Copies of this chain bind each other. A is one copy, B any other.
Amino acid sequence: MIKISIADAKMMKADPKYFTGNAWLVRLAGSDDIAVNTARVTFAPGARNYWHTHPGGQILIATEGKGYVQKKGEAIQVMLPGDAVTILAGEVHWHGAAPDSVFTHIAIQPKVGGKEIDWLGEVTDAEYGAGK
């Protein structure tokens, strides 16, 4: 059993190679010996990640503020605290904050062969603006 206390948790800046705007994350999985990765991610207003897929899918749980999530080819959906979104393996999608709100979610990705994500291209302002 491994405890990551909030008092000691290490917050990292999200990799700008895959994020538009500022985001920060805290790793919540205490060991590589568990087949699921889990992090708390906070996006500044307007910030979002790039289009991507997960080989084992993903569960997002909104905890703070107002966020967006979009599956390629579908409308942008709003996420509010308590909402949960399941993204199936291979579904192209992105997520992030609304333009006028910070947004925090917990992100849960089962690992498939040690891998949990495949990044694609940037979410353009035009694509993001479609959520307004």
Contact = CB atoms under 8 A, between A and B. Distances in A.
A89 interface: yes
A38 B84 contact: yes
A126 interface: no
A86 B9 contact: no
Interface residues of A, number: 43
Q: For A36, A57, A61, A108, which residue has the most chain B Cβ atoms within 10 angstroms?
A: A36
Contacts of A23: none
Interface of A: 1-6, 9, 28-31, 33-36, 38, 40, 56-59, 61, 63, 69, 71, 74, 77, 79-89, 91, 93, 106, 108, 110
8 contacts: A1-B88, A3-B77, A9-B84, A29-B59, A30-B86, A34-B86, A40-B61, A110-B110
